[in-house]
Each structure stands twice: as structure tokens, then as C-alpha cells.
Amino acid sequence: MARASAVPTVMTVSTPTEETEAVLEPAPISVLIVDDQDLVRSGVAMIVDSEPDLTVAGQASDGRTAIDVAHELRPDVVLMDILMPGSVDGIEATRRIVAETESKVVMLATFDSEECVFPALQAGASAYLLKASDGETLVHAVRTVHDGRALMSPEVTRTVLRHFTSRATGGTFQPQLVGCLSERERDVLSLVARGLSNAEIAEELVVSEYTAKSHVSHILSKTGVRDRVQAVSLAYESGLVRPGEGG
């Protein structure tokens, strides 16, 4: 009987295809634009779409529609006009979107008065910018809040500081909240209140940026504040930092 010839086993190694490689690329940050003026929405959309890591997920012309679209599209970031006609303004829309979705909100306003700034921040906005801000600032705000950080324009920061300078001691946050923090965490909170980033805090305290970020996370968890904006409010209202200190 003739011996059957052995059939060699051929092993193939698959290489990533262009399609596979594309899947590995991070998805662009999706942005929902909310403003009652068509021209404003179009202008903002052009700015967003000009950035390779950003994309316009959708648009809305009023607060109620913004809530519906946010639920449907689940954008990463919402650019929200604070004043819009109808029963749901930008502040109420922000409150609903932040409470019911994972979207971050950048509030856009014409004015930096306390009557606008504080309700917006209390509603859950992660950033507050004036509409006069340039495109670079707007894009930076989108990336910043998407990374889980907060941002206020210099004009708004001055409004916040004026508020704490003029008001009497005591406020929304109870001073004892700071008492639950370690000495190092209080140091970190004071630096956050003075506007330092995690990298700058790390340099100031001679620790790694990861350690600085961990301290900030622990501060938010222990005190129950939502983000760095509320942490700044806590630092001032508790008396840990006083207007005019540091910086």
C-alpha cells in the first residue's frame, strides 16, 4: 500500500486590517449644540466640525427639545445657551440633562452676572463661558469638561470671587465638610480653589500627577461635591481659602 503523503499544515497569522485599526482609534467627542438662533448654531457647528477630535451630534433650538435630543443621542458634551424662549430655559434643561444622562454641559451666556452664573453652576454646568469667547476657548472647554474637569472664563471667575468677597460668612456648604479631609487633602483643596490643574498641584506638592488626581477624587467623594467648581465654592464658603489669598 502506498504511503499517503503528509499534507503540510499551513499556519496563517492575520494582520490588523485598516477596518480593525480604525476601530481602535478613539471616537470623536460628540457635541450637542443648543441655541434658539439658527445663525449662532451654524457658527458653533462650524467651529466644532473643524476639529478632528470633535463632531456635531445634533442641534436643538429650545430647552425642551434639547432634553429630548440629549436622551436620544447621548452626546458627550452639550453647548447650552442659557436664555431661550419657552417654558424650559437653559438652566432647567441643564439640570435635567445632567441628572438624567452622562452628558457634560458647557453653559454659554451673554452676561457674567451672579444671577446667571450661580444658577447655571448649581444646575450642574461643568463650564460657563461668555458668548464673546473665541473658537479656541470654546473647543478647549469641550475637551476640558469631557475629561471630567471644570472651566470658567476669567470674567466669570472674577464674578465668583466678588460674590465670596461681598457675602457674609456661612453659605451653601457646611464648614464641617472640610473637617473630614486630611491635612494633605485640605492643602490640595486650597490649590484647586486657586485654579491650579492636577499637574500644577503635583508640582507644587512634589508628588506625581496621579497622586494629585487621586487626592482630588477623594476630596469630591468625602465632601459629596459634584466637581471642581463646587469644590472651589466649598473652599471659599468654609473659610479654608479667602478671596485674595494665593494665586
In which residue are the cell numbers 469631557 written? 146
pLDDT band at 118 (very low <50, low <70, confident <90, very high): confident
Point out the domain boundary residue: 153, 187, 213.
Answer: 153
- Rounded mean pLDDT of 83-101? 92
Mean pLDDT of 59-83: 97
DSSP helix/strand/coil, 222? helix
Q: Read off the pLDDT band of 244 (50, 70, 90).
A: low
Whether the per-residue pLDDT at 238 is higher than 70: the answer is yes
- In this predicted structure, the answer to whether residue 170 has a pLDDT above a threshold of 50 is no
pLDDT over 50 at 206, yes or no: yes
Strands, DSSP E only, in 64-150?
Answer: 77-81, 104-109, 127-130
pLDDT at 80 over 60: yes
Task: Please say if the pLDDT value at position 146 is more than 70.
Answer: yes
**Distance of alpha carbon 183 from the chain centroid:** 27
Query: Smallest Cα–Cα separation from 79: which of 60, 53, 100?
Result: 60
Report the mean per-residue pLDDT for the chain. Answer: 83
Range of the domain at 214: 168-237
- Asked if residue 10 has pLDDT above 50, the reply is no
**pLDDT > 50? residue 246:** no
**Whole-angstrom Cα distance, residue 178 to residue 189?**
9
Distances (CA, A) of 112 to 68, 118, 193, 220: 28, 10, 19, 26
C-alpha cell at 182: 486630611
d(CA 193, CA 184): 14
Evaluate whether residue 52 is within a structural domain.
Answer: yes
SS3 at position 207: coil
The pLDDT confidence band at residue 182, using thresholds 50, 70 and 90, is confident
Whole-angstrom distance, CA of residue 106 vs CA of residue 80 = 6
Q: Residues with Cβ < 8 Å from 48, sequence gap 6 or more?
A: 31, 33, 54, 55, 56, 79, 139, 142
Q: Is residue 133 part of a domain?
A: yes
CATH number reported for the structural domain that contains residue 180 in this entry? 1.10.10.10
Average pLDDT over residues 115-121: 83
Q: Give me the residue label for grid cell 457634560.
A: 104
- DSSP code of residue 81: E
Domain count, the chain: 2
Distance CA(63)–CA(220), nearest Å, equals: 29
| List of E strands, 35-83 | 54-60, 77-81
Kindly state the cell numbers that stand for 108: 454659554
**The residue to which cell 425642551 is assigned:** 64
Cβ burial 204-218 (10 Å sphere, 16+ → b, else e):
ebeeeeebbbebbee
> Which residue's C-alpha cell is 438624567?
100
Q: Is residue 95 part of a domain?
A: yes
On whether residue 6 sits in a domain, the answer given is no
Residue 147 has pLDDT above 70, yes or no: yes
Using the predicted structure, report yes or no on whether residue 216 has a pLDDT greater than 70: yes
Q: Is the model more confident about 170 or about 143?
A: 143
Q: Is residue 14 part of a domain?
A: no
142 shares a domain with 38: yes
User: Are 172 and 149 within one domain?
Assistant: no
Q: Which three cell numbers stand for residue 65?
A: 427639545
Report the CATH number that the domain containing residue 55 is assigned in CATH: 3.40.50.2300
Record the pTM.
Answer: 0.64
- Which stretch of 22-26, 54-58, 193-197 has the lowest confidence by average pLDDT? 22-26
In this predicted structure, the answer to whether residue 54 has a pLDDT above a threshold of 60 is yes
> Are 74 and 147 contained in the same domain?
yes
CA 72 to centroid of chain Cα atoms: 20
Domain check: are 77 and 133 in the same one? yes
Is residue 52 pLDDT above 80, yes or no?
Answer: yes
| Contacts by 23-28, CB closer than 8 A, 24 or more apart | 26/53, 28/52, 28/53, 28/54, 28/55
Same domain, 130 and 228: no
For residue 163, is it within any domain?
A: no
Q: What is the pLDDT of residue 135?
A: 94
247 in a structural domain: no
